């Protein structure tokens, strides 16, 4: 009875050893992320399905399910439709298209892979950007029977913008052109002409048929004239990531690790370079210098850390470090700035406007960011640069951003992790834009505040009262100007120094160049907020009477002032009453269509959520409204 048990145990031990060996070998493989992109029906999903199938990377039950699904939903008759391995959503199968980014994970004996199958439609540009943002290689498919299309140019432009250096020009469906070398050469030549303007390091053209399997994994005998690699052999051998390993050390702090009073560490992932125990680091943006005492990985102590490793670093002395700070090589630090030239992909239905403020998430840090200029947006089908003051869904443009504090950064082309960011809406918390820092603006380093001896406090003391801004907001016809005038008279009687900035009057001077589109309204309020800030600094009580329809801009204005200085007064009136009053006949013109973008009719008014004072002029007289404001003041 003993021998069989011993044989079984020996077999189990041998199997376990082989499993352990396999797991160890797989753990040492590097990872390649790549995307497939191209026009609709160029065969992206079919190509990925073919790779998974031929490399025997799917299970038998998946193969059986694929064969059954091919009969129900496939487009290849009785043959297997490999696209169904990727197009997993029922809605996509019914339409025969991919509308979302589908990720697949697989590995060979040489490498591990994550592939993103991105949609070809122009309206899903933001989806493609999401898939391409972390990719090392882009496989751009071209239908051999159709040649270079507009979407080929568009996808190539986006991949270049996102810093992907290695391109596979997969000339697919060669079976439709009888594997013609002349057709293949013509497509390669045409692609080379326009891609010369883009920032690719290499373009590898491969003739293939994803449907038939030619040159996907095995070399095809139908393209004897082709001597280059198959797709899989290229993906297994292309070198990527070396530049980040050779880059100076960059370590954004994600968490200050303090389990007890005896330990203070800084946890995060090294995004570039490497560093060893004992080396000096610099903390940005503060600039303080210290030496690395230890590099901790769970219970182990490491001698060094390199790009891609998540560790906890301890220093030889206490330094003020917070989440979002960056540890860098002491003698090779990155730049610090608060103004940037950026490339932006807009990802929200509501457009982005010059003057509007958002939250910028860059690494582990969140800062307030304002779009101060849109230099141009691209026609991404022709690469033409178009003038614009707004950026709509799926549009790409060059923007200037101004932050409320300095941050450490690098250009996206130099270090993706230090130059990539997203913009977040303050109210919905939705991601509205994905951006890449190109460079900091020189004026950010050259423009410094001049120290003044007579300050706001001194001016307030001379005036005998603290400065304020009384920000009146409400629909046209609500009574803002009337009440603001009456409040100023009351304050004037008390010897308080005041000034009114009225919406109509200001448009005759300072803002006479500003129209009434959403973008213009945002710029209108930005200017008024900045002027109000100067007047408050001068020690005055300034009253502003503007519709100021958007919460975002009113909050931007509030953020310019010290606590207690900004008093929002919502002059509330139902739209129907405002229309009945209509002292200037504006509502009638708007209803006739003679006055486009009129607030309350075809342009939105976003009522305040928490105004300090609310005056309902449909219920209160002017005197009662003034009394309510004066009581608060």
What are the beta bridge partners of residue 282? 289, 328
The topology (CATH level 3) of 456-632 is Rossmann fold (3.40.50)
What phi and psi, each to the nearest 5 degrees, are found at residue 545? -120, 90
Instruction: Tell me whether the omega of the peptide bond preceding residue 285 falls within 30 degrees of 0, making it cis.
Output: yes
Structure tokens at 162: 């996102």
CB-count exposure of residue 74 (10 Å: 0-12, 13-18, 19+): buried
pLDDT higher than threshold 90 for residue 599: no
Considering the chain, what is the average pLDDT of its residues? 84
274 against 134, higher pLDDT: 274
- Do 244-329 and 335-446 fold alike per CATH? yes
Tell me what pLDDT residue 98 has: 43
pLDDT at 79 over 60: no
Residues 91-148 have pLDDT tens digits of: 443 444 444 567 778 888 888 888 887 776 666 677 788 888 888 999 999 999 999 9
- The CATH class for the domain spanning 335-446 reads mainly beta
pLDDT in tens, 451-488: 667 888 888 888 888 999 999 998 888 888 899 999 99
Please determine, for residue 432, whether its predicted confidence score (pLDDT) is greater than 60: yes
Of 45-49, 61-65, 265-269, 331-335, where does mean pLDDT reach its minimum?
61-65
Please give the Cα distance from 20 to 250 (Å, whole number).
34
Q: How far apart are CA 198 and CA 195, in angstroms?
A: 5
Residues 610-632 pLDDT 10s: 899 999 988 888 899 899 999 98
Give domain 27-240's CATH superfamily. P-loop containing nucleotide triphosphate hydrolases (3.40.50.300)
Q: Find the helix or strand (DSSP H, E) in which 20 lies.
A: helix 2-27
Catalytic residue IDs: 548
For residue 443, the model assigns a pLDDT of 58
CATH of the structural domain 244-329, one choice from 1.10.260.40, 1.10.540.10, 2.40.30.10, 1.10.3080.10:
2.40.30.10
- What's the confidence (pLDDT) of residue 14? 74
Domain ranges within the chain, ordered by starting residue? 27-240, 244-329, 335-446, 456-632
Check whether 255 has a pLDDT greater than 90. yes
Place of tokens 């080929």: 152
Tokens of 7: 């044989």
Say yes or no to pLDDT of 431 above 70: yes
């Amino acid at each position: 009875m003993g021998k069989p048990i011993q044989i079984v145990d020996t077999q189990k031990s041998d199997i376990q050893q082989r499993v352990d060996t396999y797991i160890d070998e797989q753990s040492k493989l590097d990872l390649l992320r790549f995307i497939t992109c191209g026009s609709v029906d160029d065969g992206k999903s079919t190509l990925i399905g073919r790779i998974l199938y031929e490399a025997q990377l799917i299970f038998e039950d998946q193969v059986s399910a694929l064969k059954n699904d091919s009969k129900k939903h496939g487009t290849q008759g009785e043959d297997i439709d490999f696209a169904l391995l990727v197009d997993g959503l029922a809605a996509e199968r019914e339409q025969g298209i991919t509308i979302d980014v589908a990720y697949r994970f697989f590995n060979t004996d040489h490498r591990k892979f994550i592939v993103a199958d991105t949609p070809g439609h122009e309206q899903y540009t933001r989806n493609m950007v999401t898939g391409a943002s972390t990719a090392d290689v882009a496989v751009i498919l071209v239908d051999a029977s159709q040649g270079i299309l507009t979407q080929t140019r568009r996808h190539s432009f986006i991949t270049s913008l996102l810093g992907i250096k290695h391109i596979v020009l997969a000339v697919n469906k060669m079976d439709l052109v009888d594997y013609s070398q002349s057709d293949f050469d013509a497509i390669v030549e045409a692609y080379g002409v326009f891609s010369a303007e883009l920032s690719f390091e290499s373009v590898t053209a491969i003739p293939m048929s994803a449907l038939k399997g030619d040159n996907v994994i095995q070399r095809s005998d139908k393209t004897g004239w082709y001597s280059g690699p198959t797709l899989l052999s290229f993906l297994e051998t292309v070198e990527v990531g070396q530049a980040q390993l050779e880059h100076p050390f960059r370590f954004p702090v994600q968490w200050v690790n303090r389990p007890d009073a005896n330990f203070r560490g800084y946890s995060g992932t090294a995004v570039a370079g490497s560093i060893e125990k004992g080396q000096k680091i610099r903390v940005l943006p503060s600039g303080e210098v210290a030496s690395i005492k230890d590099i901790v990985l769970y219970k182990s102590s490491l001698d060094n850390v390199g790009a891609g490793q998540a560790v906890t670093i301890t220093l030889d002395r206490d330094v003020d470090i917070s989440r979002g700070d960056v540890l860098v090589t002491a003698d090779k630090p990155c730049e610090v700035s608060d103004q940037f030239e950026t490339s932006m992909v807009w990802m929200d239905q509501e457009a982005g406007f010059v003057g509007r403020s958002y939250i910028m998430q860059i690494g582990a840090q969140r800062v307030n960011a304002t779009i101060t200029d849109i230099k141009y947006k691209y026609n991404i089908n022709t690469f033409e640069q178009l003038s614009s003051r707004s950026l709509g869904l799926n549009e790409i443009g060059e923007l200037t951003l101004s932050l409320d504090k300095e941050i450490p950064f690098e250009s996206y082309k130099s270090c993706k992790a230090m130059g990539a960011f997203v913009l977040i809406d303050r109210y919905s918390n939705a991601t509205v834009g994905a951006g890449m820092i190109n460079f900091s603006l020189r004026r950010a380093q050259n423009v410094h505040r001049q120290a003044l001896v007579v300050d706001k406090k001194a001016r307030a003391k001379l005036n005998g009262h603290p400065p304020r801004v009384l920000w009146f907001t409400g629909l046209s016809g609500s009574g803002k100007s009337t009440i603001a005038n009456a409040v100023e008279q009351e304050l004037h009687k008390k010897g308080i120094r005041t000034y009114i900035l009225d919406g109509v009057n200001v448009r005759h001077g300072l803002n006479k160049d500003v129209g009434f589109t959403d973008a213009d309204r945002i710029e209108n309020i930005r200017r008024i907020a900045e002027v109000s800030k100067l007047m408050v600094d001068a020690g005055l009580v300034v009253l502003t009477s503007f519709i100021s329809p958007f919460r975002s801009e009113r909050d931007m204005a509030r953020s310019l002032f010290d606590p207690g200085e900004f008093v929002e007064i919502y002059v509330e009136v139902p739209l129907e009453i405002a229309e009945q009053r209509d002292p200037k006949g504006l509502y009638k013109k708007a209803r006739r269509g003679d006055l486009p973008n009129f607030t309350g009719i075809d342009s939105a008014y976003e009522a305040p959520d928490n105004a300090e004072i609310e005056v309902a002029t449909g219920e209160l007289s002017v005197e009662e409204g003034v009394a309510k404001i004066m009581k608060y003041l």
